[in-house]
Structure 1
Amino acid sequence: MVLLTMVLTKYALVNSIFFSNISFKNYTLIHTTYQGVTLTHYLFSILAFSILLITTGGYIVNDIFDIYTDKINKPTKVIIGTSISIKKGWILYAITTFLGLLFGLYISFITNNYEYSFIFIGTILALFIYSKFLKKTLLIGNLLIAILLGLVIFTTILFNEPKPNSSNIIEAISNFGTSTYLFITMFTYIIFSVLTTFIREIIKDIEDINGDLKIKAKTLPILFGRKRASNIAFFFSCILLLFLLIVLQSLKNETLFLAYGIILILLPLLYFMYKLWFSESKKDFSKLSDLMKIIMLFGILSMSLFLSK
């Protein structure tokens, strides 16, 4: 999902927005001559590899700290502590995280964006703190993971936005309009990513309540019960629904985007909310987690529609 998000953000979203004409009422503003996309295909591969390695490291360290809960929640899917020893798990974590940071620092320095290196450092620290401490807390860990996934879109655009050469007022207006449009579009996808991930994280906490009880975690379902946690997930689903309705309303003249959004995102979300309202068992919440992941996937895949504009 992370790699797909990065590829579509760069090649479908950024490229489509910056390398097509922008119309403003009856005037077509001519784009300036850009210095080119910040990252070549090779450098983008380095960026993607860095983020994938850091993400992998996050999964590994999370599995290390979750050995005992995973043996209860998903005994057939436990790898660390069974197929791979804890010691080897730490070694794999160190290798993947170090390489991810190394590539991140390389891409930041080679593009003269030294300050961007803090994104990679901060992400590594955030994933470790989440796995060690915040995952057991009330909503903070859920929100952190949601924000980090939204950061994938932001980071990809940050590294790939072209640098314009503004030489006259028309080009300056065009550049400003294009950048504003990209910012609004990026912000829309980030909100969608954060909300869907946050809801799914709450659902996963409900699903994993038995294992979390053993380690005395203070997650939402443990402190308030499954039903109340489910109602809170439903509340945030309503916020997501309202957000989607606003986005779809703004796309009423874009037939392809509108049809895609209604059929593949809005209707599945309504079905998700219906099932969530009546869910009670671990199996029910496991299916809901998978369904939300599908909704997230279709949301990200909608970036490909920009290629047709």
Structure 2
Amino acid sequence: MVLLTMVLTKYALIDSIFFSNISFKNYTLIHTTYTGITLTHYQFTLLTFSVLLITAGGYIINDIFDIDTDKINKPAKLIIGNSITIKKAWFLYSFTSLLGLFIGSYVSITTENTEYIFIFLGTILALFLYSKYLKKTFLIGNLVVSILLGLVIFITVLFNEPKPHSSNLLEVMSNIGTGIRLLLITVTYIVFSVLTNFIREIIKDIEDINGDLKIKAKTLPIIFGRKRASKVAFFFSAILLVFLLIVLQSLKEDILLLGYGIVFILFPFLYFMYQLWISETKKDFSKLSSLMKIVMLFGILSMVLFKIK
């Protein structure tokens, strides 16, 4: 999902907005002054590889600290401690995280954005703190990991936004308008990503309540109970629903995006909300987690429509 998100953000969303080559009366109004994207294809490949390595490190460290809970929640899928020793897992975590940091730092330095190194460093630290401490807390861990996933879109835009060069006032104003449009679309996708992941994290906590009880975690379902926690997830789902309706309302002039949003995002999400309201068992919440991943996937795939319009 991370790889797909980065590729579509760059090659479907950003490229289509900044290089659409719209003309009016033989005068190209938009994007004639952009000398190119900030990252070359090679640099973008390195950036993507860096993010994937850091993400992999996050999964590894999370599994290391989750050994006791996974023995209860998903014993059949337990890898660390069975197929891979804990010592080897720590080595893999250190290797992937440090290599990801090194590559991310290289891309930052070569693009003259040295300050971006702290994004990679901060992400690694946040993933470690989440796995060690924050995921056991009341909603804080859920929020942190959701924001980190939303950061995937942000960092892709941050590194790939074109740099305009023009003294023509008309083109300068056009480029500013295009930048604002990209900002609004980016914020929309980030909010969607954060909310969907936040809801899914709550559902996963409900699903894993038995294992979390063993490590004395203070997650939402442990404090409120499974049923009340599901209602909290439903509350945030209602917020996401309102957000989706606002976005769809703004797309009423764009039939393609509007139709896609209704059929492939809104309808599946409404079904998700219905299932969430009636779910009670661990199996039910496991299905909900998978259903939310489908909603998230269709949301990200909508970026393709910006390219084909």
**1:34 Cα deviation from its structure 2 partner:** 1.1
Tell me whether 1:297 sits opposite 2:303 in the alignment.
no
- Counterpart in the other structure of 2:263: 263
User: What is the deviation of 1:150?
Assistant: 0.6
Match of 2:62 in 1: 62
Q: 1:130 to 1:23 in 2, by over 3 A?
A: farther
Deviation at 1:30, TM superposition (A): 3.4
Aligned residue for 1:272?
Answer: 272
Work out the CA distance in 2 between the residues paired with 1:100 and 1:10.
20
In the TM superposition, 1:121-140 aligns within 5 A as: 121-140=121-140
Within a 5 Å distance, the mapping from 1:62-101 to structure 2 comes to: 62-101=62-101
Unaligned runs of 5+ in 1: none
1:141 — aligned with what?
A: 141
Matched, 1:111 2:111: yes
Residue type of the alignment partner of 1:171: E
Per-residue CA distance 1:194-250 (angstroms, 9 max, x = gap): 000000000000000000000000000000001110000000000000000000001
CA distance in 2, matches of 1:129, 1:257: 39
- What does 1:76-225 align with in structure 2 at a 5 Å threshold? 76-225=76-225
Q: Confirm or deny: 8 A CA contact 1:30 1:170 kept in the other structure.
A: no
Letter in 1 for 2:306: F
Summarize deviations over 1:85-138 as a string: whole Å, max 9, x none: 000000000110110000000000000000111100000000000000000000
Residues of 2 paired with 1:31 and 1:282: CA distance? Answer: 52
State whether residues 57 and 96 of structure 2, in contact with CA within 8 Å, keep that contact through their aligned partners in structure 1: yes
Verify the 8 A CA contact 2:30 2:175 in the aligned structure 1: no
Distance 1:144 1:59 in 2: 14
Q: Answer yes or no: is the 8 Å Cα contact 2:166–2:172 preserved in 1.
A: yes
- Contact 1:164-1:175 within 8 A present in 2 as well: yes
Q: CA deviation at 1:22?
A: 5.6
Distance 1:137 1:22 in 2: 50
Unaligned runs of 5+ in 2: none
**Cα distance in 2, alignment partners of residues 23 and 233 from structure 1:** 47
Q: Counterpart of 1:44 in structure 2: which amino acid?
A: F
SS of 1:217 mapped into structure 2 = coil
SS class of match (1:138): coil
- Offset at residue 33 of structure 1 (A): 1.7
CA distance in 1, matches of 2:30, 2:158: 23
CA distance in 1 between counterparts of 2:293 and 2:270 reads 14
Task: Report the Cα distance in structure 2 between the residues aligned to 1:206 and 1:31, rounded to whole angstroms.
Answer: 48
Cα contact 1:12–1:306 (8 A) shared by 2:
yes
Kindly state the Cα deviation for residue 28 of structure 1 after the two structures are TM-superposed.
7.1
Once the two structures are superposed, residues 22-75 of structure 1 have per-residue CA deviations (whole angstroms, 9 ceiling, x without a partner) of: 689xx9733342121011111000000000000000000000000000010000
- In percent, how many aligned pairs have the same letter? 75
Moved more, 159-168 or 5-14: 159-168
8 Å Cα contact 1:142-1:198 kept in structure 2: yes
Tell me the TM-score normalized by structure 2.
0.98
CA distance in 2, matches of 1:141, 1:30: 43
The reply on whether 1:44 has 2:44 as its aligned counterpart is yes
Give TM-score, length-normalised by structure 1. 0.98
Check conservation: 1:32, 1:165, Cα contact below 8 A: no
Counterpart residue identity of residue 103, structure 2? F
Q: Which amino acid aligns with 1:172?
A: V
CA–CA distance in structure 1, aligned partners of residues 289 and 107 of structure 2: 35
Partner of 2:253: 253
The 1-side partners of 2:263 and 2:13 are apart by: 21
> How far, CA to CA, are the matches of 2:166 and 2:135 in structure 1?
47
Q: 2:208, 2:6 → 1: CA distance?
A: 29
Structure 1 residue 21 displacement after superposition:
4.1
Q: Which residue pairs with 1:53 in the alignment? A: 53
Paired amino acid for 2:105: L
Distance 1:137 1:23, change over 3 A: farther
Q: What corresponds to 1:286 in structure 2? A: 286
C-alpha root-mean-square deviation of aligned residues, in Å? 1.2
Determine if the alignment matches structure 1 residue 228 to structure 2 residue 228.
Answer: yes
